[in-house]
Amino acid sequence: MLVYLRLFKESFSFAINALRNNKLRTFLSLLGITIGIFSIIAVLAAVDSLDKSIKDQLSGIDKNTMYLTKYSFGPTEVPRWQRDNFPQTEYDDFEFIQRNVPDISAIAYVIFGGSENLKYEGNTVSGVNVTPVSNGIYDIENLKVEQGRFYTESESNSGAPVIVLGSATATNLFDNLNPIGKTIRVYGRKLTVIGVLKKVGTGLGESPDENAYVPANFVRRFKNGGAEGLPGAIILKPEKDVDVGAFEAVLKQKFRAYRGLKADDPDNFFVNKISGFTQFIDGIISTLNLIGWIISGFSLLVGGFGIANIMFVSVRERTNLIGIQKSLGAKNRFILFQFLFEAVILSLLGGIIGIILVWIVSIIATEMAGDFEFILSFYNIFLGFSLSTFIGLISGVIPAISASKLDPVEAIRTGM
């Protein structure tokens, strides 16, 4: 055992000395593997961060939550022309489902509006995502109010001119003023601020903190509905102990009957589940990971070839030394480990530098992105070290074997 430990130690020392004596060559070899490891770990870290951000945003919503609308939130086999002819989901549909579908924990009607300008005295905030939605959204999305309150069911049904602001929207519009009770202009109309939501943080796309909520019936007074109007959706949250499959079947059956569809008629609506959406997101994340591996793999391949090339050059330069070592009694495995360690150390150093660069970039990117956090997980760090070691072994094994099999006499003669 001590003999092998001494062998490892001496081989390691020879490898370190060889790297020190050829600084430019070592730097060029490190550069290739560093770029490769940096590329793949950076891509994986970015995809993991994106995945976590999406899951965090959806964490407040029950995965059994359903969106009934004319649009599909994922891939569908229904042709585009057929989907375009689906009727809009309207407020009457919402009222029917609210009255006739059992086991609903919370339900809301939402209108897919757009960005609006909010004005208070001399201040204007542009591009605010104002969501016209009934009050049931408060329970569905598990919203939290920091100041004031959310609008009630009676205010929602009557279309009261009230508005609830996201944290960032309230700050941008009122600065340090208390917004509760203030009158602002939205859609060119006056609304009273009755609540401000707690800060959620930035995630994928638009932050909820930059949104605002108004009763859907308020917007229905002056925005066109129907086929040519603003699209809408019904959001349903089933009771906790309900069989989701059975609930969806009852929902579809009753809604088909309400729309007068015959038994052989296809659905003219979609029931989109959050669980299905998360699976769709998982598929996108997996695809991004695969693409990242393919792109970064080319960088790793170039880095591996660079190390192998340098190792062959190193063997050729030290042929005379190898012959002397073997004539003095050095075993083949000593020569093998000497060059193999050199390749592995080169690769590991490149991997370490690549991981450090990813860590620095992740810190800078997190600071610049605000609340969005770039994550460098332990798994990705471990993966970087493992890949570096593997590349070093693969790149160095053939040059090391060729060096260990050199004939001592021929090696000395060639070196001279």
Question: What are the tokens at 312?
Answer: 């062959």
| Cross-strand partners of 238 | 104
Domains held by the chain: number: 2
pLDDT, tens digit (0-9, with 9 covering 90-100), for 34-57 = 777 787 787 777 777 777 776 666
pLDDT, tens digit (0-9, with 9 covering 90-100), for 205-244 = 456 778 899 999 999 888 766 556 678 899 998 888 888 8
Determine phi and psi for 212, rounding to 5 degrees.
-150, 150
The Cα 43–Cα 300 span in angstroms is 13
- 209 and 296 co-located in one domain: no
Among the listed residues 16, 19, 37, 15, the one whose alpha carbon sits nearest the alpha carbon of residue 28: 19
Asked if residue 400 is part of any domain, the answer here is yes
Asked if residue 190 is part of any domain, the answer here is yes
SS3 annotation, 151-207: CCHHHHHHCCCEEEECHHHHHHHHCCCCCCCCEEEECCEEEEEEEEECCCCCCCCCC
- 323 and 211 co-located in one domain: no
Whether the per-residue pLDDT at 358 is higher than 80: the answer is yes
- 217 and 318 co-located in one domain: no
Whether the per-residue pLDDT at 100 is higher than 60: the answer is yes
- 115 and 219 co-located in one domain: yes
Residue by residue, DSSP assigns 262-318 as -TTSPPSSEEEEHHHHHHHHHHHHHHHHHHHHHHHHHHHHHHHHHHHHHHHHHHHHT
- 214 and 303 co-located in one domain: no
| Cross-strand partners of 17 | none
Is the CB of residue 226 less than 8 Å from the CB of residue 41?
no
- 145 and 47 co-located in one domain: no
User: Average pLDDT over the chain, rounded to whole?
Assistant: 80
pTM beyond 0.85: no
Asked if residue 156 is part of any domain, the answer here is yes
Asked if residue 202 is part of any domain, the answer here is yes
- 285 and 411 co-located in one domain: yes
At 205 the pLDDT is 47
Residue 193 is part of which domain span? 110-237
- 127 and 204 co-located in one domain: yes
